[in-house]
């Protein structure tokens, strides 16, 4: 219980304190992203995934819920059954080290990655476990993502909307759109060069 209450405080310290010892903070972020296999087995993949996302500053929405949850300490009591449906990772510290949390989550249909400064190409390839559920994906202002990273989305064959913008290291946008469209023929791919408001999803 003490760890549950301590995570948000530690995260706030990690993300706000300026220090020259960047390697320490990088290590701490990895710790916050690391998968606890025992916890996955004990409480299930959806709870373990929600805990990972919340302690790294993301928000989550559960199936049959009308609101996003952003407070780690507001999670349902341990042992409660719930399933993740939507994720807003804006300004979060999620890293690819944590993406194995998605394994076993069968109902996640919407994810927004916006200003995720630790998100790298490797992470996008690790979205494959969501290929049967993910319908909407936004990747924007994630400066470590380039063309090779976006190509790793080719396994998400049920995507209906892919929103991309402000990705400065993606050089040939038309080529990437054409590449992905070949693998995701049912997906509306919207790649804007300028900042724009999130497009409302038409998912029902």
What pLDDT, in 10s, does the model give residues 73-98?
999 999 899 999 999 999 999 999 99
> What is the reported pTM?
0.83
Q: What domains are defined for the chain?
A: 2-14+23-65+80-192 (3.80.10.10)
Q: Helices 22-33 and 2-16, interaxial angle, to 10°?
A: 140
- DSSP per residue, 103-167: TT-----EEEEES-TT--HHHHHTTGGGTTT--EEEEES-TT-BHHHHHGGGG-TT-SEEEEE--
Tens-digit pLDDT profile for residues 125-151: 999 999 999 999 999 999 999 999 999
- Nearest C-alpha neighbor of 70 from the set 83, 84, 88, 46: 88
Q: What is residue 27's predicted lDDT score, i.e. its pLDDT?
A: 65
**Residue 31: alpha-carbon gap to chain centroid:** 17
* Torsion sign across C-alpha atoms 106, 44, 68, 126: negative
CA R_g for the chain: 17
- The Cα–Cα gap between 176 and 13 comes to 38
- Spans of the chain, pLDDT less than 50: 1-6, 8-9, 11-20, 196-204
Mean pLDDT estimate for the chain: 87
């Amino acid at each position: 219980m003490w760890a549950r209450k301590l995570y948000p405080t530690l995260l706030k310290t990690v993300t706000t304190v300026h220090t020259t010892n960047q390697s320490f903070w990088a290590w701490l972020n990895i710790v916050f992203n690391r998968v606890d296999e025992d916890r996955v087995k004990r409480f299930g993949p959806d709870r373990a995934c929600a805990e990972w996302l919340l302690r790294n500053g993301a928000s989550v929405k559960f199936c049959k819920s009308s609101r996003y949850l952003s407070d780690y300490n507001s999670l349902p009591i341990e042992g409660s059954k719930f399933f993740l449906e939507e994720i807003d990772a804006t300004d979060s510290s999620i890293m690819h080290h944590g993406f194995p949390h998605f394994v076993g989550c069968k109902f996640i249909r919407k994810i927004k990655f916006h200003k995720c400064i630790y998100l790298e190409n490797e992470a996008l390839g690790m979205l494959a476990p969501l290929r049967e559920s993910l319908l909407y994906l936004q990747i924007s202002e994630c400066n470590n993502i380039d063309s090779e990273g976006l190509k790793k989305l080719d396994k998400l064959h049920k995507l209906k909307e892919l929103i991309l913008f402000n990705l400065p290291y993606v050089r040939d946008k038309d080529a990437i759109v054409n590449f992905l469209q070949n693998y995701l023929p049912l997906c509306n791919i919207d790649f804007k060069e300028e900042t724009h408001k999130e497009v409302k999803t038409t998912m029902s």
